[in-house]
A and B are shown apart, each in its own frame.
Chain A
Amino acid sequence: MTSSNAPNFETIAKLLKKNYNFEWKLNQTVIRRKNLYSIKGRIENILVSNRQDVRLTLYIKKGGMKGEGMVPLIDFSADELRKAVSTARVLAVNAFNKDFPLPSRKPVKNVSYDKKIERIVETKAGDNILCRMHKSIMLTAKNARVIMNSHELHASVEERRVLNSKGQNVRQTKTMIQLESVCSLKKLGIEREVIVEEEVGALKQFNVKRIVQEQILLAKDVLVADSAPFFVGPVIVSGRALSDMFRPHLSIGPFVVHASAKIKYLNLSRYSKGQPIIGQAEHDKLTITSNPFLRDNPVSWAFDDDGTPSSKVVLVQNNFFKNYFGSQKFSHYIKEKPTGQLGVVEVKPGKCSSSAIRKGEHVEIVSFASFVPNDFNGDFSAEIRLGYLVSKTGKKKPFRGGMFTGNLFQLIRDCRLSSRVQEKSGYLGPDSVRFELGNVTAV
């Protein structure tokens, strides 16, 4: 790890082993960033940062119970370590829960990272690469006569390491590059904008020109969009709007949260192993897998905060609940195999072609303002940023505003999944889903 005040983990581990008779864990995270911010084509800010966190967790056993105390370390001398241990001890003796084992020494799979992104973050030449991307964004917008209001390019390298008293010693590097851009179009005194956020783990997947061109197409439709219609019937959710439904920004989503070992332990899961997750279903059935090894996806991680190696695990198969995902602690509590943290949410595609999905009169939603479902019961009401009302003859009329409302567990009972797939950060699955019993409410 390239950090100026890097701790020598082996020395700390030796000190802990020599002086203390309890279980422990050390976590180190280093995040380095280089970001470029632009307003209307002019650079507003360039940010370079370097963050390092080191944490020590102590585990104290007493009568079948285990107390856990975690403290940050900001100095690595024997004296400071003694102080940290004493603080962690106070925390641990006040937080006894049922005992659980720490992960023992196990290898982890290698998850890829991109040296090119690392070079952007680490070197002066990286500034020029970001500036070239910035120019390409502006040129693409200019050629399409679109106003590029603002954009942000974020490149980062994250390194994680976990070491514990059971001999587990794992480390991993991840890279990420992201574009958040806002463009707008004006016509007859009306001005409307489109926001896109795209993040990937490798530079080869990051084509800013393509991202902006797709954004411009959306902007053209948003500009001529009408108000939302009242509509009850087939609603197709596609693209980013669909990945937001399966993997919302601010939570892990209703279909997945109930497969969490922690949620099960807290008595809040609606799933039971081997039981259907919904009632009688029509058409396609849902199969969801947590995949932490998807190459270059920003949420792929080889191990979790405890150092538990990640596993690919089928959560739901043909609408039946199969397996929980979770840390060593909560998996042990519910007597399941630990899988590490949630990976990419993979939804098995269906057999429907793009045209079969879009048959007859329907509404298609391609962008939500924000999709924030109630994770516990699946209820949602989401503002539509761009949708289309499509007639029987296939005539498409764009609209904006209005709300898509309902319950995800109800909607999924009658759905068709596309055979075509898309990959977004944290999601791999159908690029469109047709919900037969959708409900759009106009303003």
Chain B
Amino acid sequence: MQQVNLTDFSRSRNTTLLYTHNKDTDIIVDDKGIEIMTNADSGVKARVMKDGFWHDFGGSTLQRDWLKKKLAEFIPKKELVQYNNIGMKTFKQLGRIHPDTIKLQDKVKDLKKLQARIKSLSDDFLNVRVRLAVEQEEKEFLSGEKHLRQELNLCTLIVVAFFSDSNDEMRYHYLARFMPGYEAIQLTNKEVNDFKNMIMKLKNGRKITPGKYTCIMSNQLTGLLAHESFGHGMESDTILKDRAMAKQFLGKKLAKDFVSIIDSPSYSWSHGSYFFDDEGHLAEPTYLMKNGIVNHPITEAFSAKKLGYTASPNSRAESYDHKIYARMTNTYFDAGPHKPEDMIKSVKDGFYLHQSSGGMEDPKSWGIQIQGITAERIKNGRLTGEMFFEVGMTGFLPDLLGNICMVGNDLKVEGVGRCGKGHKEWVRVSEGGPHLLVDEVTLA
């Protein structure tokens, strides 16, 4: 039950209010036991535009009286406005199987079963950890014009197996998937077999010889490129700070016609989805690149207004006590015309890039900085099983975008990560795309 009524707070014409309530349950099962962690966090973010800039006030529900007092002090009496009766629009995405309909003991049982199933794949595992994170997020937004409310369920399953490679070095391999409901926990036999096969291959992995290679990027790597390398440079607040090279490429062609990159909180229920953002903009897709042309940044209101851009639904704060920035949601390359198997067949000598541990943005120089990649050699159009790990990908993004030769028809947006602005301000996101075939990729 919501403990805060937004209409209890003082408000001027330039005030917006956002109530957030997050309830999380994490269940982790591994070889040694079980951990159940629950958390709940709720509070209100009040924003008042005054003297040409935003004044943000954030208070947890336990500090609601402090927040009421702060707003009452800050907004002069003559500027106070009454709340008109604006009809509230409500949105819900609770998943196919609402996590609340499954008893905790059954969730634990299911996870133990899954852990045992993964553990049985090999006697060599040092440990297998299976984690189910169930997040329930409620938001209510109120301004002079809008009153919106959304309820979301977010279930993430992560399976990690630790093992020793042939040099007795510890490695791990993971599988992550997101669904709005409890259905996230159901892994198919194919998914489990693929997981096992990859670990078998990784046992004999080694270091790559640095150089430029023809590469096929998996859906995950494609997504990381869309998000880290391209997307961060298309954030309007970064552009306003003159920190993004993208500014000079807006409206210019950087890639072939079949290359498009989209950010969309309305993409069909992925980890970065929502119905409205923290400034009350309703979710819709933004084409960051359309048919090879750098198209439109993602925005929050302040920088969008300063730069004269149409606002996009990307205003997000980590929490009620953090600032709103322009942030990505589900960022992905759009599907193209090519079949992934044909793309692999077309490579004489190169690499298939499977997974990565993450990347870093470099919007000013549009540099690519992706690390911890697992790569598999492709020889004469076939995957060879010869593996390389901890590979780094580097280079100049416009060059790489220009070198995309084929785009697969297998669009998937399956990322389950959190994105930071630098090393802070974490928000849930997803990324993905189809397979990409790219020439001259620098790997080290």
Contact = CB atoms under 8 A, between A and B. Distances in A.
B422 A54 contact: no
A327 B30 CA distance: 19
A48 B53 contact: no
Contacts of A94: 34, 36, 104-105, 108
A443 B67 CA distance: 52
B372 A266 contact: no
Interface in A3-48: 3-5, 31, 33, 35, 37, 39-40, 42-48
B444 interface: yes
A5 B40 contact: no
Interface string B38-64: 111111000000000111111111111
Interface stretch (B83-91, B215-223, B250-258, B357-365): B357-365
A53 B41 contact: yes
Nearest to A35: B323
Given A72-B38, A150-B241, A267 B32 contact: yes
Shortest 7 CB-CB distances between A and B: which pairs?
A381-B392, A49-B321, A49-B58, A441-B444, A379-B390, A370-B360, A97-B33
Interface in A27-85: 31, 33, 35, 37, 39-40, 42-54, 68-72, 74-75
Contacts of B104: 90-91, 94
A40 B358 CA distance: 30
Given A70-B37, A383-B360, A383-B367, A44 B53 contact: yes
A372 B358 contact: yes
A206 interface: no
Contact of B66 (A44, A50, A193, A402): A50
Nearest to B162: A268
A34 to B, nearest CB: 11
B61 A74 contact: yes
A267 B162 CA distance: 10
B36 A91 contact: yes
Given A50-B66, A74-B40, A381-B371, A197 B126 contact: no
B302 interface: yes
B170 interface: yes
Contacts of B67: 50
B53 A369 contact: no
A383 to B, nearest CB: 4
A74 B390 contact: no
Given A97-B33, A270-B170, A383-B394, A51 B365 contact: no
Contacts of B66: 3-4, 50
Interface in A131-152: 147, 149-150
Interface string A139-176: 00000000101100000000000000000000000000
Given A381-B371, A381-B392, A401-B367, A376 B35 contact: no
B41 A97 contact: no
Given A5-B64, A46-B56, 16 more contacts: A40-B241, A47-B323, A48-B70, A50-B67, A51-B59, A69-B36, A72-B40, A87-B38, A90-B104, A95-B34, A95-B35, A266-B30, A372-B360, A377-B170, A383-B360, A400-B365
A376 B36 contact: no
Describe A's contact surface by its main secondary structure.
strand
Nearest to B47: A45
B358 A51 contact: no
Contact of B362 (A46, A377, A383): A383
Residues of B in contact with A, size category: 35 or more
9 contacts: A45-B54, A45-B55, A45-B56, A47-B322, A54-B62, A74-B3, A193-B243, A195-B422, A382-B371
B186 to A, nearest CB: 21
B44 to A, nearest CB: 10
Contact of B63 (A39, A50, A147, A192): A50
Contacts of B105: 94
B423 A249 contact: yes
Interface string B128-162: 01000000000000000000000000000000001
B170 A52 contact: no
A268 B364 contact: no
B358 to A, nearest CB: 6
A389 B56 CA distance: 46
B38 A268 contact: no
Nearest to B389: A379
Contact of A443 (B55, B59, B64, B395): B395
B442 interface: yes
Contact of B57 (A49, A71, A376): A49
A5 B4 CA distance: 14
Contacts of B129: 266
B83 to A, nearest CB: 23
A419 interface: no
Contact of A182 (B70, B241, B321, B367): B241
Contacts of B389: 379
Contacts of A74: 3, 40, 42, 61-62
A268 B126 contact: yes
A52 B60 contact: yes
B14 interface: no
* Residue of A46, A54, A369, A383 with most chain B CB atoms under a 10 A cut-off: A383
Contacts of A54: 62
Contact of A192 (B171, B360, B365): B365
Contacts of B357: 372, 374
Contacts of B36: 68-69, 91, 94-95
B442 A44 contact: no
Contacts of A87: 38
A374 B241 contact: no
A71 B25 CA distance: 10
A184 to B, nearest CB: 7
A45 B323 contact: yes
Nearest to B106: A94
Contacts of B33: 96-98
A376 B422 CA distance: 24
B65 interface: yes
Contacts of A381: 371-372, 390-392, 444
A117 B195 CA distance: 51
Contacts of A270: 170
Contacts of B337: none
A169 to B, nearest CB: 20
B9 interface: no
Interface string A251-268: 000000000000001111
A60 to B, nearest CB: 12
A370 B394 CA distance: 13
Interface string A321-349: 00000000000000000000000000000
Given A95-B34, A97-B33, A374-B390, A51 B43 contact: yes
